[in-house]
Chain A
Amino acid sequence: DTEVTQTPKHLVMGMTNKKSLKCEQHMGHRAMYWYKQKAKKPPELMFVYSYEKLSINESVPSRFSPECPNSSLLNLHLHALQPEDSALYLCASSQAPLAGGSDTQYFGPGTRLTVL
């Protein structure tokens, strides 16, 4: 089973709202990732968690705040977003955190975020 689930599927929020995206995997993976994907572009890495600790922050603005409550869950808290933050947000997980090697990232279906 290579399933990564994400909720909600769609989210519309105003610039003053606070919302959260949720990601869950039950494959026993120890690395989890957040990506942002704009229309007609490839995904861009935002954050990497390894063994529930933030390992990589790709210079993401502080209005995006990740959280990893346990090895199966990954949240992305959103606050004071801008319209240009509207995008598809993808979560992924992989077995071997930052170990290089051949581990494969498996992606969830994404959350389509619209910021008004």
Chain B
Amino acid sequence: AQKVTQAQTEISVVEKEDVTLDCVYETRDTTYYLFWYKQPPSGELVFLIRRNSFDEQNEISGRYSWNFQKSTSSFNFTITASQVVDSAVYFCALRGPDYKLSFGAGTTVTVRA
């Protein structure tokens, strides 16, 4: 069985602060894929990143960065210098060698001006 845990329910920060979202996963598959999605108030789930289990290289994309550590089964996400537009619900998800995405419960990020 697969499980994704996002322990942080809500995070509130002031603009320009850094925000780190935690994601811990459980799987028995040796090959799996990790995802982060952003869901702003409008409702659309926006794909942010995919990571393969055999590629532990961390990634930076603009103000976003991801830290994947297989040893701790974690795939954390950091927003640097947060902006009001970053306010959204962020979902971490896991997919094994089948069709199904297992989502975490989501973390609501509120960035105050």
Q: Digit string of A82-116 for contact with B (CB within 8 Å is 1, else 0)? A: 00000010101000011011101111111010000
A42: Cβ under 8 A from any B Cβ:
yes
Dominant SS among interface residues on chain B: loop
Q: Which of A90, A92, A98 contacts B98 (CB 8 A)?
A: A98
Given contacts A90-B45, A100-B96, A100-B97, 6 further A-B contacts (CB under 8 A): A88-B43, A98-B98, A102-B33, A102-B52, A106-B47, A109-B43
Q: Which residues of B contact A (CB under 8 A)?
A: 31, 33, 35, 37, 42-47, 50, 52, 91, 96-101, 103-106
**Could you tell me which A residues sit within 8 Å of B by CB distance?**
2, 31, 40-43, 45, 48, 55-56, 88, 90, 92, 97-98, 100-102, 104-110, 112
